[in-house]
Amino acid sequence: MRSPQSDQARLASLVERELAVIADLQAQVAALRRDLIAIRPDADLPPAQTAPEPPGPAAGDSVDEMSAAFDRLQEHADGLWFERQWLTAEISVARGEFGRNGPTP
C-alpha cells in the first residue's frame, strides 16, 4: 500500500523533471523565434508565452495539490511543444524547404 509521503516524493520528482522539460522547451522556442525573425523579419508571430510557469508544489502540499500543479506544468509544456512545432514548420517554409503544397523539388 502506498503512503501519502511516497506519493508526494514521486510527484515532486515528476514536477522537477517537468520543470526541466519546460526550461528546455522555452530555450528552444526562443531560439526558433530568433531564427524565424532572422529569416523573415516581417514574420507575424503570435505573442510569446509570457505567463509565468505555474509554481511547483511546496514541500507541505497535499498529493492533490501536487498533482494539480503537475497537470498545470504539463499543459504549459504542451503549449510550448506545439509552438516549437509551428515555428519549425514556419522556418522550413521560409527557407523554401517546403512549399504550401508540400516539399519543394
- The domain spans of the chain are 63-97
| Structure confidence by residue, pLDDT tens digits, 50-99 | 555 556 556 567 888 888 888 888 999 999 999 999 999 999 988 887 66
Report the C-alpha gap between 103 and 83 in whole angstroms. Answer: 21
102: left (phi over 0), alpha (psi -120 to 50) or beta: left
C-alpha cell, 79: 503549449
Grid coordinates standing for 60?
507541505
What pTM was computed for the model?
0.78
Cβ-proximal residues to 32 (8 Å cutoff; 6+ apart), any chain: 84, 87, 88, 91
Strand partners, 99: 102
pLDDT in tens, 22-54: 999 999 999 999 999 999 988 888 777 755 555
